[in-house]
Each structure stands twice: as C-alpha cells, then as structure tokens.
Amino acid sequence: MNLPLRPAPRAGRRQRRRSAGQRARMRFVAIWLSPIMALFALVWFVPIGMAAWLSLHRYSPLSAVSPFIGLRNYVFAFTEDPLFVNALGNTVKFTVVAVPLNVAISLPVAMGLNALKRGGTVFRVLFFAPVTASLVAAALVWVPIYDPQAGWLNAVTGWLGLPQIAWLQNPGTSLWAVLAAALWQDLPYNIIIFLAGLQSIPPLFYDAAKVDGATRFQRFRHITIPLLRRTFVFVFVLSMISYMQQFTHVQVLTRGGPLHSSETLLPYIFARGFNDFQMGYASAMAMVLFAIMLVITVTQLRLMRQRWEY
C-alpha cells in the first residue's frame, strides 16, 4: 500500500545565512516572547533551582540555620529511608500499569466515538464529564464503591459468587483500587485527545486502503497507528507525568495505607516537607522525581520522534 507521505525537511547542520527579513522576524519573536519567557523562568526555573539548592541543605522553614550538607539528603533517601524507596517503587508500578492501560482503553473508545454517525457530541460530553469534576469530589465517589461492607463493588462480586474484598484496607489491592479511580477520571481526557488525532487523519488514506483491499485491522495497523504517532507521544508523555505525580486519589482514598502499600512519591514528599518540616529532604526527593520524569520524557520524545508529516 502506498501512502502519500513525504519526509519532513530536515534541518541542515550548517547554519544557513538568514536574510534581513528573517533576522527582523527572529528579533520580533524574541522580543515578544521575552515577557512570557521571563515569567516562565520566574515561576518554573527559579523554583526548580531553589529546590535543587534546598536539597543540599538541612532546611526547615522555621529554623534560622540551614547547614549545607551536600548530597546527604540524596544518600539518605536511597540508603536509609525504606519508605522513600517504597514510595518510589509504588510510583513506578502505578505509572507502568496506568499509562498503557489508559491508552489501551481510551484509544478504542475514541475510535468508537469517531465512528459514530449520530450522537457523537452527546457521547463526547458524557465521556468528558469526569474530567470536569473536582479531583477530590471524583475520588470521593469511589469511597462508597469500595466500602468493605456496603460497597457496590463487593455487591457485584458477591452476586458473581466472588470473595468480598476490603479493597482499600487490603495492602494487596489498595494501590490498584486507587489506580482504577484515577484511571476513571483520566480516561476521558485521553479519549478526547485521541479523538482529535483520529479526526485529523484524512479519510482519503482509508479510502485508498479500502480500494487496495486492506482489512480493518490492516487499516488500523498501517494507517491509524502511524498517523497517530504524534498523539501517542503527547498522550504518553502527559499521562506519564500525571501518574508520576499522583497525589489526590491517594490522599483521599487511602492516605498511602495500609502499611504504605498505596503510598506514592508525591504524598510522601508532601508529608515530609509540610508535616514534618523537613523541607530540604523533601526537596531532594522532589529533585529525584524531577530527574526521573525528565529522563523518561526525553527518552520518549526521542524514541517516538516522527520524521515525516502528511
């Protein structure tokens, strides 16, 4: 099957000479972007820099002295704080399961919505509704669902003859129960993103493939997946960042328990920083999380880089 794809022009390594008009354009862009870039630096780079600096100190906001301790906060986190290692492990588990699951569910739903001839708008609104709810309120919805005695989920499992489980009170299920609640609220966002991606694929590709005798799966495999590559990058990166920073659902549903089985990194950092006044140590843990997310994001962007357009 021949698709009318053309390679994107690759930027040459040699600096091309710019015309006076181009130079003026670049200057204009630089000038008009400087306020927003300055603001960006103020609210983003400066705090990150400050967090990195604080992570090298024994810093409590209430104490007048903050001795410089080098990398001791980092060493302590990895060698002497099992709760940090546990929280990091839970965060990784959560992300590794939630991101593919999210994509695996949201893409087919988006394709279904895209295929709808009538009522698509109504379904889009219905599907998007959970995203518009407050995070805390949406998380609280799951408390009665997971209730060990009167919970709806146990009512269903009981009806099916399955064992009754204390979903949030059992260390074996608590993290996954939180994940399901978080997933429920996050799915619609990615459904809409995928839907937008699907709608931007020109129908002529599918028409040409049909003429060539391509099956539905072949069209999905050879047209939909490649042409959604940019959408995939967007969804993977944003979902990964969102799940690595999981906070609200954990706090509302389990507060990290039982036995820290559902404690992810952000609630742990928050507790050490804001409840325990160990802001230097909390900053070190935040920098570790930042570094992990940065590495994964850059890797994802590089691996999924697209060198052609349609």
Partner 1 sequence: MRRGVTERRRERGVERRFDPRIPRWRPRFLLVVTVAVVAVGVGACGGGGGGHTQPAGAASGQGSAAKVKLTWWTSNNPTFVAANKDLIKRFEAANPNVTIALTAFPDDVLRQKLQAAYASHTVADMQQMFGSWVPQYARNGLLDPVPSSLTTDVRKRYWGPTLGGYTSAGKLYGLPNEFNLENGGMLANPREFKQAGIPAYPKTWDQLVADARKLTKFNADGKMVRAGFAFTGFDSITFMLLAMILQQNQSYWAGDGVHVDFHTPAAKGAWQALTDLVTKDKVDSRTAYSGDPFDAFFRGQAAMAQHGPWVIPLGKDQFPNFKFDYVPVPPYRGSTYTFAAESGWGEVVNAAAAPDKKAAAWRFIAFSHQEDNLRRWDITTFSVPPLRSLVNDPQILKAVPEMKTSFAVLPYGRYVGPVQDRDRFWQAFQDAFTSVELGRKSAPDALAGAEQQINTMIDQHAGP
User: For binding to partner 1 (CB under 8 A), which residues are involved?
Assistant: 20-22, 24-25, 27-28, 31-32, 34-35, 38-39, 42, 58-64, 69, 72-73, 76, 80-81, 143, 146-149, 164, 166, 168-171, 257-260, 271, 274-278, 280-281
The nearer residue to partner 1, 53 or 298, going by C-beta atoms, is 53
Rounded Cα distance between 167 and 219, Å, is 41
The nearer residue to partner 1, 86 or 246, going by C-beta atoms, is 86
- In the complex, what is the shortest distance from the CB of residue 300 to partner 1, in angstroms, rounded to a whole number? 28
- In the complex, what is the shortest distance from the CB of residue 104 to partner 1, in angstroms, rounded to a whole number? 30
The nearer residue to partner 1, 74 or 128, going by C-beta atoms, is 74
Question: Is 268 exposed, middle or buried (CB count within 10 Å of its CB: 0-12, 13-18, 19+)?
Answer: buried
- In the complex, what is the shortest distance from the CB of residue 186 to partner 1, in angstroms, rounded to a whole number? 23
- In the complex, what is the shortest distance from the CB of residue 159 to partner 1, in angstroms, rounded to a whole number? 14
- In the complex, what is the shortest distance from the CB of residue 27 to partner 1, in angstroms, rounded to a whole number? 5
The nearer residue to partner 1, 57 or 102, going by C-beta atoms, is 57
The nearer residue to partner 1, 20 or 303, going by C-beta atoms, is 20
How many Cβ atoms sit within 10 Å of the Cβ of residue 297?
Answer: 17
Q: What is the CA radius of gyration of the chain?
A: 24
Q: Among candidates 215, 249, 227, which has minimal Cα distance to 107?
A: 227
5 to each of 35, 214, 222, how far by Cα in Å?
38, 18, 12
